Copies of this chain bind each other. A is one copy, B any other.
């Protein structure tokens, strides 16, 4: 974590405005997606555009900050999953939670993808997360519950696929995500021992809405 001295020196009104901007951004993202104009967020927050830009010099910075909490949740889920006594359950829980977050929080995926590669500042945390992921996978394989030819990169594959499936609105997206993840996890499971389990209910996806998004 870098020295954030300026954060504490922030004047009271400035700090309050900063919070209002973040709140407004989260609301706006949820409503209109990540591409909402900066001016809209500023108006919603009841501040001028300049104030927004002074606090968050780039759009990416604002996005990152806005979803920091959700990202932290994902990271936490990762380490918790790693400590689950049942490696397979831990593995599933991580994937499920990350995917659900993607489905629930609109724009989160972009934040997720934008966050890490950005600054060297995060490089350390990133490698740590990657190692944890590798361990999660290794553990599940070692226990014989995850198929041997599973690759760590397949997790990225799941995340991206889930991102595509959740290009839609609210509850529908969550349902689509649940079903997709259920299908995939079943494939990841090793051995023919596990027959097809029950699935979450199917989803009627409205292509028109997705196209118009």
Contacts and interface: CB of A to CB of B under 8 A. Distances in A.
Interface of A: 110, 113-114, 116-117, 147, 149, 151, 153-154, 156-157, 160-165, 167, 176, 179-180, 183-184, 186-188, 190-196, 198-199, 202-205, 207-208, 210-211
B176 A167 contact: no
A191 B163 CA distance: 29
B192 A179 contact: no
A205 B156 contact: yes
Interface of A is mostly: helix
A165 B157 contact: yes
Contacts of A176: 157, 160
A60 to B, nearest CB: 9
A66 B184 CA distance: 34
Contacts of A184: 183-184, 187
This chain: copies in complex:
2
Closest 9 A/B residue pairs (Cβ)? A164-B164, A151-B202, A192-B195, A161-B161, A183-B187, A163-B164, A161-B165, A113-B211, A117-B208
Contact of A164 (B116, B162, B211): B162
A205 B183 CA distance: 21
Nearest to A199: B149
Contacts of A204: 153
A193 to B, nearest CB: 7
B203 A157 contact: yes
A207 B156 contact: yes
Contacts of A157: 165, 176, 179-180, 203, 205
